[in-house]
Structure 1
Amino acid sequence: MAKKHYNCGIGPAFEAVGGKWKVAVLWELAGGALRFGELKRSVPGVTEKMLIQQLRELERDCLVTRTVFQEVPPRVEYALTEWGVSLNKALAPIANWGEAFAQATGRYPRQDAAEPAATARAKAGSATKPKTARGRPGS
Structure 2
Amino acid sequence: MALFDLLGRSWALGIIWQLANGAMTFRQVQESCENISPTILNRRIKELVACGLLERSDQGYQLTKTGEALFRHLKPLGAWSLQWADKLLVLEAAEPLNNET
Q: TM-score, normalised by structure 1?
A: 0.60
Mapping of 1:1-139 within 5 angstroms?
11-67=1-57, 77-106=60-89
Q: Distance in 2 between matches of 1:21 and 1:47?
A: 10
For residue 45 of structure 1, report the CA deviation from its aligned partner.
4.6
The code of the aligned residue for 2:48 comes to L
| TM-score under structure 2 length normalisation | 0.81
Larger Rg: 2
Counting aligned pairs with the same residue, the percent is 27
Deviant stretches of 4+, over 4 Å = none
User: Structure 2 regions of 5+ residues with no counterpart?
Assistant: 91-101
Instruction: Calculate the aligned-residue CA RMSD, in Å.
Output: 1.6
Q: How many residues align?
A: 90
Indicate the structure with greater helix content. 2
2:71 counterpart letter in structure 1: N
Comparing 21-30 and 98-107, the one that deviates more? 98-107
TM-aligned CA deviation for residue 23 of structure 1: 0.5
